[in-house]
Amino acid sequence: MRDPNREPPVIRIGLLGARGRMGSQVSRLLVEEFPSRATLAAAIDQGQPPSTLLECDAVIDFSSPTAMAALAREALERSGPLPVFAVGSTGWRIDEKRAIEELAARTPVLLSSNFSVGVLALLELLKEAGPLLSRLGYKPVIVERHHAHKKDAPSGTALALQRVISPQGPGNVPIHSVRAGEVIGDHEAAFYGTADVLSFSHHAQDRSIFARGALQASLWLHANRATLAERRKLIGMSDYFHHLKESTHV
Ligand SMILES: NC(=O)c1ccc[n+]([C@@H]2O[C@H](COP(=O)([O-])OP(=O)(O)OC[C@H]3O[C@@H](n4cnc5c(N)ncnc54)[C@H](OP(=O)(O)O)[C@@H]3O)[C@@H](O)[C@H]2O)c1
């Protein structure tokens, strides 16, 4: 028999960038796929004061680094408990990144340039394959394609691929960015040998993969907030993937 006292709580989600391409997907999935786990408690866009987000249990950010850094600075001025943060914006300047690093010293903050489980798996595969292929003499190159409205280039995911293929520095892994049409997000890591090419790629068919990933990550952050808060530093994509490998549900 179901024991209502053991049901996970319904968490209150605050959404920064609510009307955007990604924010609207999060709102839709909350209703369609997460009605018993989470509810939309605050939805903020440009020109609206973001302070209501700080009353929520978890904040999902799909706005811009500038907007998220401003929210982080506002949060840091508060005493008392803060929400957990699943941050999806890409294209961070150093000062903006510092603001969310400071926030991560107070509350769990997951920064992920790609919430698709497929991309997280690709990054893990390339941790092994990238350095091996480089040792065998293959020359890596990354190609990423996104819609013409995307503000940053190269994409955060391309930079993450570059870091796993070449942990010692980006020097020998060029990134080619294409901005055209309405492409949701394609990434390819190709390794050129003298007479052959190995290619690893990910093609996003639908933005819901990122929205679903951000919602699942928020539930995980909130459920494990006490333990995660002890880290006092940004939680990365590979930390989250490690959790996914160990558990098929959050
Ligand atoms: N991590 C991932 O998995 C993932 C996946 C896809 C995209 N992204 C990233 O997520 C971000 C958003 O992408 P998108 O395609 O959804 O962009 P978008 O359609 O342009 O949406 C951005 C939203 O943020 C709002 N916004 C901008 N500045 C703001 C501010 N200062 N305060 C409050 N709201 C503000 C915009 O409001 P207005 O319309 O009023 O300006 C808009 O609603 C980008 O950085 C993108 O690269 C990440």
Q: Give the model's pLDDT for residue 248.
A: 59
Instruction: Identify whether residues 10 and 110 lie together within a single domain.
Output: yes
Please give the number of the atom of ligand 1 that sits closest to the Cα of 147: 15
Ligand 1 contact, 90 CB (< 6 A): yes
Instruction: Identify whether residues 40 and 131 lie together within a single domain.
Output: no
Instruction: Identify whether residues 155 and 220 lie together within a single domain.
Output: no
Instruction: Identify whether residues 8 and 90 lie together within a single domain.
Output: yes
Q: Give the model's pLDDT for residue 172.
A: 83
**Adjacent-strand bridge partners of 111:** 87
CB 108 within 8 A of CB 85: yes
Domain at 220, CATH number: 3.40.50.720
Instruction: Identify whether residues 14 and 36 lie together within a single domain.
Output: yes
**pLDDT by position in tens, the chain (length 250):** 556 567 778 999 999 999 999 999 999 999 999 999 999 999 999 999 999 999 999 999 999 999 999 999 999 999 999 999 999 999 999 999 999 999 999 999 999 999 999 999 999 999 999 989 998 999 999 999 999 999 999 999 999 999 999 877 777 899 999 999 999 999 999 999 999 999 999 999 999 999 999 999 999 999 999 999 999 999 998 898 888 888 755 4
Best residue among 46, 68, 120 to mutate for probing ligand 1, ranked by most atoms within 8 Å of CB: 46
Q: Whose CA is nearest to atom 39 of ligand 1?
A: 20
Distance 229 CA to ligand 1 centre (A): 26
Instruction: Identify whether residues 217 and 156 lie together within a single domain.
Output: no
Please identify every residue annotated as catalytic.
146, 150
Instruction: Identify whether residues 122 and 161 lie together within a single domain.
Output: yes
Q: Give the model's pLDDT for residue 199.
A: 98
Q: Which two tokens stand for residue 10?
A: 């319904």
Distance 176 CA to ligand 1 centre (A): 23
Instruction: Identify whether residues 20 and 61 lie together within a single domain.
Output: yes
Instruction: Identify whether residues 124 and 179 lie together within a single domain.
Output: yes
- Pairing verdict, β 186-192 and 197-203: antiparallel
Element (DSSP H or E) covering residue 172: none
Q: How many domains does the chain have?
A: 2
Q: Whose CA is nearest to atom 15 of ligand 1?
A: 21
Q: Whose CA is nearest to atom 20 of ligand 1?
A: 20
Instruction: Identify whether residues 87 and 155 lie together within a single domain.
Output: no
Q: Give the model's pLDDT for residue 5.
A: 65
Q: Output the pTM of the full model.
A: 0.94
CA 227 remoteness from chain centre = 20
CB 89 within 8 A of CB 67: yes
Instruction: Identify whether residues 106 and 14 lie together within a single domain.
Output: yes
Domain at 194, CATH number: 3.30.360.10
Q: Give the model's pLDDT for residue 150.
A: 97
Instruction: Identify whether residues 121 and 92 lie together within a single domain.
Output: no
Ligand 1 contact, 118 CB (< 6 A): no
Q: Give the model's pLDDT for residue 93.
A: 97
Q: Which two tokens stand for residue 209?
A: 């993969």
Q: Could you tell me which of 88, 90, 91, 111 has the C-alpha nearest to residue 100?
A: 111
- Pairing verdict, β 197-203 and 109-111: unpaired
Q: Residue 132 sits in which domain range?
A: 117-203
Q: Give the model's pLDDT for residue 69.
A: 98
Q: Give the model's pLDDT for residue 108.
A: 98
Please give the number of the atom of ligand 1 that sits closest to the Cα of 89: 45
Q: Give the model's pLDDT for residue 224.
A: 95
